[in-house]
Structure formats: structure tokens, C-alpha cells
Amino acid sequence: MTDLLASLMTVGSGSYASADVHFLLQAMQMQVTDVEEKERLIQTKQKHYSDMIGMEHVPTAMHMTLYARALAQNGKRMATDVQALAQALNAACHGPSIALVSFVRAGLPLGVLLRRALTGMGRDAHHYGVSIIRDRGIDRVALEAIIQAHGAENIVFVDGWTGKGAISGELKRTLAGDDRFAPEPRLVVLADPCGRAWLAASWDDWLIPSGILGATVSGLVSRSIWPAQGGLHGCVVYDHLQAHDVTREFVDQIEVERRTLGETLTATAWTVEQRRELQLGADGVVTALAARFAISNLNRIKPGIAEATRAVLRRVPEHVLVRSRDDEDVQLLMHLTDSAGVTVEEAGAELGPYRAVTIIRSVN
């Protein structure tokens, strides 16, 4: 470990095993803002979302039942996709080591699993959890420490999925003009329905099991917080959720499944035409929904199963649209909307590549 990395005061590995990830986040204490007030402050532009944190509650028994069902239903698919992505990275990265830089929090489980798969292939792979914040960029203190330790050539950014492509756009904006990185940064995801990632296992909007929980499947850390005083971006460690933590259990279960696989297909990057078709399809859905619901701020539109589900849990939803009410992959979302008293509309082909979309309520 370089002097710069060693000098950073961080939360370590959270509840992950120390070999699985090093969070380049500083621990913070922050007063909780309730959901309604947070929404008002965000939409009136009095505060940025990364300047506040909400309370993360213990998942309900029904939530955990649906999580277990998702894991049983889609765990093998995730294991297969991890293997395919790892094989592609092994072929694409030619330097002595690979530095996986996962975006906190959605990228963490995938990054852990990719590191395990790559080390199993004999690669020297390192994994870091780093913050990227919409409109404010990636944590440059953390990124420079990683570059000092490993160089920039074989840095691979990891996220769980793409929604509208806001984070991939933020990554490109942040790194623009930095000739240590290609114009198209290496962003790897499991699901890329909007065609914005460098490498994805598929374009399907599917129920990624880790995408329906928060801190309890991501090392017990909060989403990242902007550091008003400078330095590393921050997080809150949710010690009150320890008894409900499935972080290690989840990655171990997917890893066991992956180890049973033989040679699988290697993921390949989208062609220019594929990327263009995916982007046009996704952008068309968002544009149409913005027009239909008279939305000028596209941040109020949360497309994709994982984003739609998280928006119901953490924001103030007004409408939820699903491709089909009978879709097994949206049953947690249906349960949450029922509990919150939010009407669900079956929208069919109107959602294009997405199987669910949440519209955030306007406070104006």
C-alpha cells in the first residue's frame, strides 16, 4: 500500500472481509433528515441530496422474504454474469494488476465478486469502494490515491446497473480532459438497459438481488456524503443494522454458485450500433414520460427495477409504472407501493427496455 493510501483515515472494509474491499470513505456523523423534508430541500435546490442522509430502517420480514425469493430466482444468473464479466476483464486488462473501483453502494457486491473471480484466474486484483455524486463528480482524493498505487491504465469502474445513465455521464464529465483515461471510461455493470456502460453482462432490466437492499447487503455503509470540509467523501456506518446484515452471506452464496460454473460466454462490449439503439430507446422512454407527467427535472424519473424500488424506499413517489403486474421481478416493488399507498400502472411496451419506473412527486 502506498503512503497516500495508508495515510487516508477510512472506514476500512465495513462489514466485508478485509480482503474483499477497502472503502476510501471517511466516517461521518450527520443528523437524519426525514424523507419529506429531504425531498423538499432537494427540489427547491436549498440542499444537494449528498448534503443530507435519511434514516435506513431494518428491512421488514416481507422485504427479506422477497429478497430471499429474488436470490433463489436470480442468484445463478448473477453468478453466470459475474463469471462472464471477469473473463472479459481478464482478457482486456494486460497490465500487472487490475484495480476495481466500485461506486458506493450499488457497485460493491459486483466489485467484490469480480475481484474474487479475477484472483481465481490468477490475476493480481485490488478492490476499492469510492464515492461518485451526481453533479459533483467522483472523489478525486480517493481516485488519485488509487492511481498512485496502481496506475490508471488498468482501473475499471464498477456499478450495479445503469438507469438513465446519469452516473456514467458524471464519470465521463469528471474524467474529461484527463489523458490518463480513455474518452469512454471503463465502466462495468451487470445490467445496462440504456447502453451507457463500457461493458455489461446484458441490457436486460432484471431483478439483481443485491439491488433491493441497502446497507445490509453493502457492508453496512450509507450512500456517500459530500465532504463540506474537503478530503475523502464520507459515509455513515449503520451499526444499528448489524443483526440484519447479509453482506458476507450474499457474496459467499453467489461465489459458491459461480465456482460451479465451467467456461461461460465472455461478455463483449456493445457495438456502436447496439449502443446507439439502446440509448435511443431509453432516452425515448424518459422523454415521453417527462412530457406525459409535465416533468422538467429528469431527476424525478427513476427508470429500472432497482432505481424504481430504491426511489419508493428513499424518496416520495407519486406514480409507479410497471411493464406487467405479474412480473416476478417487480413483486417487491408492488409490495412497497401497496404499503405506501402509491398507485401502480401497468404500462406495457410504453416502458421500452425498462420493467419499472418510479416518478418522484413534485413538491411545487
Q: 131 and 79: one domain?
A: yes
314 confidence band (pLDDT: 50, 70, 90): confident
- Contact status, residue 221 vs residue 250, Cβ threshold 8 Å: no
For position 278, what pLDDT does the model report?
95
95 confidence band (pLDDT: 50, 70, 90): confident
Q: What is the mean pLDDT of residues 78-100?
A: 94
For position 142, what pLDDT does the model report?
96
For position 1, what pLDDT does the model report?
57
For position 219, what pLDDT does the model report?
97
Instruction: Tell me the pLDDT of the chain averaged across its residues.
Output: 93
For position 2, what pLDDT does the model report?
65
pLDDT of 262 higher than 80? no
The last residue of a domain, from among 259, 286, 304: 259
Q: 298 and 277: one domain?
A: yes
Helix/strand/coil for 28? coil
Helix/strand/coil for 142? helix
For position 101, what pLDDT does the model report?
98
Q: What percent of the chain has pLDDT over 70?
A: 99
Residue 21 lies in a domain: yes
Alpha helix (H) ranges present in the chain? 3-7, 35-43, 61-92, 108-120, 140-150, 166-175, 247-259, 272-292, 305-314, 331-340
Cα dist. 253→71, 247, 248, 278 in Å?
Answer: 9, 10, 8, 32
Residue 267 lies in a domain: no
Q: 250 and 324: one domain?
A: no
What does the alpha-carbon distance between residue 353 and residue 356 come to, in Å, rounded to a whole number?
9
For position 185, what pLDDT does the model report?
93
**pLDDT digits 0-9 by tens, 224-233:** 999 998 899 9
Long-range residue pairs from 27-32, CB within 8 A, at least 24 positions apart, any chain: 27/234, 27/235, 27/236, 27/237, 28/225, 28/227, 28/234, 28/235, 28/236, 29/236, 30/225, 30/236
Residue 266 lies in a domain: no
> How many domains, in total, are found in the chain?
2
Residue 289 lies in a domain: yes
Q: Are strands 301-303 and 26-27 parallel, antiparallel or unpaired?
A: unpaired
Q: Which residue has the cell 474524467?
A: 175
Residue 264 lies in a domain: no
- Contact status, residue 104 vs residue 221, Cβ threshold 8 Å: yes
**pLDDT digits 0-9 by tens, 204-237:** 999 999 998 999 999 999 999 999 988 999 999 9
User: How crowded is residue 206: how many other Cβ atoms within 10 Å of its Cβ?
Assistant: 23
Q: 321 and 253: one domain?
A: no
Q: Which residue has the cell 497490465?
A: 95
User: How crowded is residue 324: how many other Cβ atoms within 10 Å of its Cβ?
Assistant: 14
Beta bridge partners of 112: none
pLDDT of 332 higher than 90? no
Residue 206 lies in a domain: yes
pLDDT of 364 higher than 90? no
Q: Which backbone phi and psi does 99 adopt, to 5 degrees?
A: -110, 110
Q: 252 and 294: one domain?
A: no
Q: How far is CA 60 from the centre of its chain?
A: 22
Q: Secondary structure of 240-300 in the HEC alphabet?
A: HHHHHCCHHHHHHHHHHHHHCCCCCCCCCCCCHHHHHHHHHHHHHHHHHHHHHCCCCCHHH
The last residue of a domain, from among 211, 233, 259: 259
The last residue of a domain, from among 197, 231, 259: 259
Q: 199 and 280: one domain?
A: no
pLDDT of 150 higher than 80? yes
Q: 139 and 189: one domain?
A: yes
Q: 70 and 219: one domain?
A: yes
Q: 206 and 305: one domain?
A: no
Directed axis angle between helix 61-92 and helix 108-120, to 10°?
A: 40
Give the sign of the dihedral formed by CA 168, CA 169, CA 175, CA 176.
positive
Q: 168 and 92: one domain?
A: yes
Give the sign of the dihedral formed by CA 224, CA 226, CA 231, CA 235.
negative
6 confidence band (pLDDT: 50, 70, 90): confident
Residue 175 lies in a domain: yes
8-state DSSP, 225: B
Q: Which domain holds residue 347?
A: 272-360
Provide the grid cell at 15.
462489514
pLDDT of 263 higher than 80? no
183 confidence band (pLDDT: 50, 70, 90): confident
Residue 217 lies in a domain: yes
Q: What is the mean pLDDT of residues 271-282?
A: 94
What does the alpha-carbon distance between residue 303 and residue 295 come to, in Å, rounded to a whole number?
14
**pLDDT digits 0-9 by tens, 334-360:** 999 998 899 999 999 999 999 999 999
Q: 44 and 191: one domain?
A: yes
Q: 208 and 284: one domain?
A: no
For position 265, what pLDDT does the model report?
73
Tell me the CATH number at 303. Answer: 3.30.1330.30
Q: What is the mean pLDDT of residues 358-364?
A: 90
Q: What is the mean pLDDT of residues 109-133?
A: 97
pLDDT of 245 higher than 80? yes
pLDDT of 111 higher than 60? yes
Give the residue among 141, 119, 355 at the shortest CA–CA distance from 229.
141
